[in-house]
């Protein structure tokens, strides 16, 4: 929802309906549902590496316009038509690695200006005293910045290091374009599922969309992050009754609280409530 909220501002660049969405749908297709219902994007490509369960993906495909392409992203993306303006969200489950970097560099070099490149990565730091070696093995010695140390790759540092590598590598891929392009980061956040994860998103910007981008005013967004300071997302587990009670207090301009809930959980909900899935009021 935060990502969709930011993408709405791209209407000043071109109508959102002209964009194509590329992602890893899995059999739930949650992000595809959001892109259609929130933004009106109809042209979609879902890359599915699980080639053994094609029937399940086809059965759960929510929209006829979604093109299912089976295979690893490294096999599929080189054949992707780079002509259409695109929102690409590659939702990886592992830490940053050479294959993912190759995928994203390809998009940064080939997609038209005004396109969006986003990615999700695991940011668990791994075993102490092995983190720098693991990073070098994953992305390649020539990619790892020379000033990094083991201490830079702890719980707090690894998301920032992965962001730095992403930004540097995609900038290098975009610069040789004609006209030359740059990568404008607009989101960088960390959240937790079964593992700590980071989300990063950026626009491909060249002289043809530079002025239009200024009109978009992305920096006005609460979730806007264009540097290495991340937005920490903590989503509390709440009952329907608790959500309704907290919403009523927020609407009344009160500091939300609920019996049995810790203050930090109430505060976390207050910060995120406008993106929280809507909870219906009882009849």
**Where residue 278 falls among pLDDT bands split at 50, 70, 90?**
confident
Q: How many domains does the chain have?
A: 2
Q: Is residue 73's pLDDT more than 70?
A: yes
Residues of the domain holding 65:
2-232
- Per-residue pLDDT tens digits for 81-130: 999 999 999 999 999 999 999 999 999 999 999 999 999 999 999 999 99
Q: 144 with 107, same domain?
A: yes
- Asked if residue 139 and residue 63 are part of one domain, the reply reads yes
Cα–Cα distance measured from residue 59 to residue 68, given in angstroms and rounded to the nearest whole number:
11
Confidence of residue 283 (pLDDT cuts 50, 70, 90): low
In terms of domains, do 267 and 212 share one? no
Is the same domain home to 179 and 55?
A: yes
What average pLDDT does the segment 226-251 reach? 91
For the purposes of burial, counting CB atoms within 10 Å of the CB of 272, is it exposed (0-12), middle (13-18) or buried (19 or more)? middle
Query: Are residues 87 and 182 both part of a single domain?
Result: yes
Whether residue 253 is contained in a domain is answered as yes
Q: Is residue 43 part of a domain?
A: yes
Spatial separation of the C-alpha atoms in residues 85 and 112, rounded to whole Å:
6
Torsion, CA 42, CA 171, CA 151, CA 153, rounded to 10: 20
Same domain, 259 and 158: no
Same domain, 186 and 266: no
In this structure, the answer to whether residues 166 and 250 fall within a common structural domain is: no
pTM of the model: 0.92
């Amino acid at each position: 929802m935060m990502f969709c909220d930011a993408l709405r501002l791209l209407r000043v660049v071109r109508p959102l309906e002209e964009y194509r969405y590329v992602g890893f749908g899995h059999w739930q297709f949650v992000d595809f549902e959001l892109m259609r219902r929130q933004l009106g994007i109809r042209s979609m490509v879902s890359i599915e590496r699980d080639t053994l369960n094609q029937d399940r993906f086809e059965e759960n495909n929510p929209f006829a316009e979604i093109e299912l392409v089976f295979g690893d992203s490294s096999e599929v993306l080189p054949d992707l038509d780079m002509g259409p303006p695109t929102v690409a969200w590659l939702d990886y489950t592992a830490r940053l690695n050479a294959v993912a970097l190759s995928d994203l560099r390809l998009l940064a070099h080939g997609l038209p200006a005004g396109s969006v490149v986003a990615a999700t990565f695991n940011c668990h730091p791994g075993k102490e005293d092995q983190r720098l070696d693991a990073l070098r093995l994953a992305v390649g010695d020539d990619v790892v910045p020379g000033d990094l140390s083991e201490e830079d790759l702890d719980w707090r540092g690894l998301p920032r290091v992965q962001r730095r590598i992403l930004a540097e590598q995609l900038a290098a891929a975009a610069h040789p374009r004609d006209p030359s392009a740059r990568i404008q980061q607009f989101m960088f956040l960390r959240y937790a599922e079964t593992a700590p994860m980071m989300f990063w998103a950026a626009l491909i910007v060249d002289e043809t969309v530079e002025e239009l981008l200024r009109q978009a005013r992305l920096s006005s967004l609460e979730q806007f992050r264009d540097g290495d300071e991340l937005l920490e997302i903590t989503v509390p587990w709440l009952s329907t009754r608790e959500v309704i009670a907290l919403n009523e207090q927020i609407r009344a301009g009160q500091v939300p609280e609920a019996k049995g809930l810790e203050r930090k959980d109430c505060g976390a909900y207050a910060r995120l409530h406008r993106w929280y899935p809507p909870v219906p009021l009882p009849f």
